Amino acid sequence: MNLPYPPGPLNQLNQLARIIEEKKRTQDQPICAYLYDLEGLSRHAEEVTRALPPSCRLFYAMKANSDPEILKTLSGRVHGFEVASLGEVMKARAASERIPVIFGGPGKTDEEIRGAIEQRVTLLHVESMHELKRVEHIAAAMNRTVSILLRINLSGPFPQATLAMAGTPTQFGIDESLVGEAIQLALSCPHISLEGFHLHSLSNQLDWRSHLALLAYYFDKVDGWSGQYDINISTINVGGGIGINYADIGSQFGWSEFADGLSRLISERNKEGTSILFECGRFLTAACGYYAAEVIDIKKNHGKHFVIVRGGTHHFRLPVSWQHNHPFAVVPLDIWNYPFERKEIKDSDVTIVGQLCTPKDAFARDVPIDRIRIGDVVLFLYAGAYGWAISHHDFLSHPHPEHMYLTNTSVLT
């Protein structure tokens, strides 16, 4: 199983190119749009979910992309949504009144805790001793019992990954040294039901073997706490953290190998009766999204070529946030409405930038390119996660990009 699904087999790129060219012929403004392949997303989510062992549940981490069409597509194809605010709870409920929702995040307000209870959130991930006391206080006032997981900031050591949420000083979870105190406090609260632990520690893990070893480490920790404190655990949330290889898009996380290894691990550790939760975001939606930006100028400064596109990192912040060269394809357009020559670059290194008044507004620096012209479109791949959702949309007050949704029968805008 090749996952995530390849973002640009020839027929798909040709389809996108046709859509972009047709769009260009109907408007005078430069192309600037997000395109989402909803059919591909649907197939991908179903394959990822189907590969998991029976005791596992896959929740979509909405922080990656909470677009309503994305949520509608994923609803029914994943086991639930993972949210980090009351606003995301309400988006989840707009997509489905019945889908299970789990709620995490290090700074929940009383309003959010109360709202989570009112909206029938399945599990609340408690991130501090103070938060635990507030959940009990609010639940008691509402005469409700709240099912929780304690998020523990483990000491590690952990495998290498892009971001660390645990094993280092961060704002996430309860320090592992306080786990006994947290368990005892949770068990003493009459309006709290302690179901287990949340142990998300790493982000953008690309090696399935390392990730499997991480889960074995989690299981060891939970088994130790269960024995030491004589508690029965029904649920372990292992978080997300499964990444996308933007540097080599043909080499992605081996999901099928991971799922097979996980099945063996669950059997070896007698975890068939424990619900294992995953919170995947980027891994589910990255490949379904494209950001299309038309080239509006090409220039050379101090020996380097710059390709300036309509849009910028205020639309698609991921590359500058992660400091990487984002993968792209060039869609050539033969439409040229000016009476003078059309500038182009061939067989050279270029830096692709946006319209913002900062040198940090860059998508890819010093990357080789065969040919690109003013009026062509740069199509950024793997733009379906942490793109529009995390961007500073109104910086400089440029127009927002169009959002287009591709199904097997039509293009929706």
pLDDT of residue 2: 41
Confidence of residue 412 (pLDDT cuts 50, 70, 90): low
What are the start-end ranges of the H helices in 269-324? 282-285, 318-322
With 70 as the cut, is the pLDDT of residue 9 above it? no
pLDDT tens, residue by residue, 347-406: 999 999 999 999 999 999 999 999 999 999 999 999 999 999 999 999 999 999 999 999
Instruction: Calculate what percentage of the chain has a pLDDT beyond 70.
Output: 93
42 membership: H or E segment, kind and range: helix 38-51
Identify whether 332 is preceded by a cis peptide bond (ω within 30 of 0).
no
Alpha-carbon distance 30 to 296, whole Å?
A: 7
In a shared domain, residues 259 and 125: yes
Is residue 165 packed enough to be buried (19+ CB in 10 Å), middle (13-18) or exposed (0-12)?
buried
What are the start-end ranges of the H helices in 163-289? 179-188, 208-229, 255-268, 282-285
Among candidate residues 252, 280, 308, the one where a domain is terminated: 280
In a shared domain, residues 191 and 339: no
Range of the domain at 212: 104-280
Alpha-carbon distance 170 to 148, whole Å?
A: 21
Q: What is the CATH number of the domain that holds 346?
A: 2.40.37.10
Sign of the dihedral defined by the CA atoms of residues 191, 197, 202, 205, in that order: negative
In a shared domain, residues 349 and 268: no
Helices 129-142 and 179-188: angle between axes, nearest 10 degrees: 10
The structure's pTM equals 0.93
Over residues 165-173, mean pLDDT: 69
Catalytically active residues are 357
In a shared domain, residues 243 and 116: yes
Among candidate residues 218, 253, 280, the one where a domain is terminated: 280
* Position 347 in a domain: yes
What are the start-end ranges of the H helices in 231-295? 255-268, 282-285
Q: Name residues whose C-beta falls within 8 Å of residue 221's C-beta, 6 or more positions apart in sequence.
A: 152, 154, 197, 199
* Position 389 in a domain: yes
* Position 61 in a domain: no
Confidence of residue 4 (pLDDT cuts 50, 70, 90): low
Instruction: Calculate what percentage of the chain has a pLDDT beyond 90.
Output: 87
347 membership: H or E segment, kind and range: strand 344-353
In a shared domain, residues 259 and 405: no
With 50 as the cut, is the pLDDT of residue 310 above it? yes
Identify the DSSP state of 289. E
Q: What is the CATH number of the domain that holds 244?
A: 3.20.20.10
In a shared domain, residues 108 and 252: yes
With 60 as the cut, is the pLDDT of residue 1 above it? no
In a shared domain, residues 295 and 263: no
The pair of three-digit structure tokens given for residue 229, joined into one six-digit string:
């404190």
Alpha-carbon distance 304 to 348, whole Å?
A: 9
In a shared domain, residues 116 and 243: yes
Q: Number of structural domains, the chain? A: 2
Alpha-carbon distance 90 to 68, whole Å?
A: 11
In a shared domain, residues 207 and 112: yes
pLDDT tens, residue by residue, 17-30: 999 999 999 998 99
Residue 217's SS3 state is: helix
| Other CB atoms within 10 Å distance of the CB of residue 197 | 27
If one compares 165 and 310, the residue with the highest pLDDT of the two is 310
Confidence of residue 155 (pLDDT cuts 50, 70, 90): confident
Sequence-distant contacts of 367-373: CB under 8 A, at least 24 apart: 367/325, 369/330, 369/345, 370/330, 370/346, 371/330, 371/332, 371/344, 371/345, 371/346, 371/347, 372/295, 372/298, 372/307, 372/330, 372/344, 372/345, 373/295, 373/298, 373/332, 373/342, 373/343, 373/344, 373/345
Q: What is the residue-averaged pLDDT of the chain?
A: 93
In a shared domain, residues 267 and 150: yes
pLDDT tens, residue by residue, 193-224: 999 999 988 888 999 999 999 999 999 999 99
pLDDT of residue 8: 46
pLDDT of residue 160: 57
| DSSP E strand boundaries for 10-159 | 32-37, 56-61, 80-83, 101-103, 123-126, 146-153
Among candidate residues 257, 280, 303, the one where a domain is terminated: 280
Residue 71's SS3 state is: helix
pLDDT of residue 169: 65
In a shared domain, residues 120 and 249: yes
Over residues 320-347, mean pLDDT: 95
In a shared domain, residues 181 and 304: no
pLDDT tens, residue by residue, 220-276: 999 999 999 999 999 999 999 999 999 999 899 999 999 999 999 999 999 999 999
